[in-house]
Amino acid sequence: METSVVAEVHAFLEQVEHQYGAALAAIRNHPFVQGVEQGTVPLAILRQFAHAEYWYMRGGVKHFALSIMAAPDPETQRFYHQRLSGELEYLERFRPFLRALGLAEEVIERSWPAPRTLSAVNFLFRLSIEGGPADKAMAWFVVGRVFAETCRAMREGLTRHYLLAADALHFFDIPHVHSAPFVEAIAKIIARYAPTAQDRTHLQQVAEAIVAYEQDFYDALMAPTA
């Protein structure tokens, strides 16, 4: 793989992050995220978030499993195997948060969250079947950028205002999405399977969809219920 192509992709990822910077900031400053950070979100809505996030992760586990099977080369398989292992680890780290909110996993498993909170992970399922390796890499680059920022803000609020113990909040620490190895792995997959600027035009649509669906996730949490 040519070094110049990988460098182009790194520049492309920076461009995408800049292009959707305002939208990503809007999610970071969403009323739900801000409310958790400031301690104004009722416990009932916080439980709705936990319920929805649980199913998002369950879907993420299956998305990565399907992505491993569909990956056309060992290096890409290895990347999605790492992501699958990470998602299973996050699910394990999420369980103390559920318990801290008084939620039983066996009860959550018998019910669905608000449908709109599943839009993003349902789109990822579609990419699992119809999307190529570069589509999936682009999607998780954007998802990581969204969730790392919202988690950081929420962790502060959950500690300060909801008085949750540190062992219930390990899930909200996900620094790897900004790490050089993670970004480099994403860049290499995109460089291999979307090597030209024309190839990468489609990835802009993937990024746009992910941002919209992630916004919908948080909007759904604040939507009035009948």
Per-residue model confidence as pLDDT tens digits over 108-140: 999 989 999 999 999 999 999 999 999 999 999
Please give the helix or strand (H or E) that residue 107 lies within, else none.
helix 105-108
Helix (H, G, I), strand (E, B) or coil at 132: coil
Per-residue pLDDT of 40-84, as tens digits, reads 999 999 999 999 999 999 999 999 999 999 999 999 999 999 999
Q: What is the residue-wise DSSP string for 46-103?
A: HHHHHHHHHHHHHHHHHHHHHHHHH-SSHHHHHHHHHHHHHHHHHHHHHHHHHHHTT-
Q: Give the closest residue to 168 by CA, choosing from 101, 114, 81, 223.
A: 101
pTM assigned to the model: 0.92
Give the C-alpha separation, 41 to 31, whole Å. Answer: 9
Q: Give the closest residue to 193 by CA, choosing from 136, 141, 130.
A: 136
In the structure, what pLDDT confidence band is assigned to residue 15 with cuts at 50, 70 and 90? very high
Contacts of 56 (CB under 8 A, 6+ apart): 117, 118, 120, 121, 217
Residues of the chain with pLDDT > 70, as a percent, come to 98
Name the E strands within the chain: none
Q: Are 199 and 133 in contact (CB under 8 A)?
A: no
pLDDT of 121 reads 93
pLDDT of 175 reads 78
Domains present along the chain, CATH in parentheses: 3-222 (1.20.910.10)
125 by Cβ neighbours in 10 Å (0-12 / 13-18 / 19+) ranks as middle
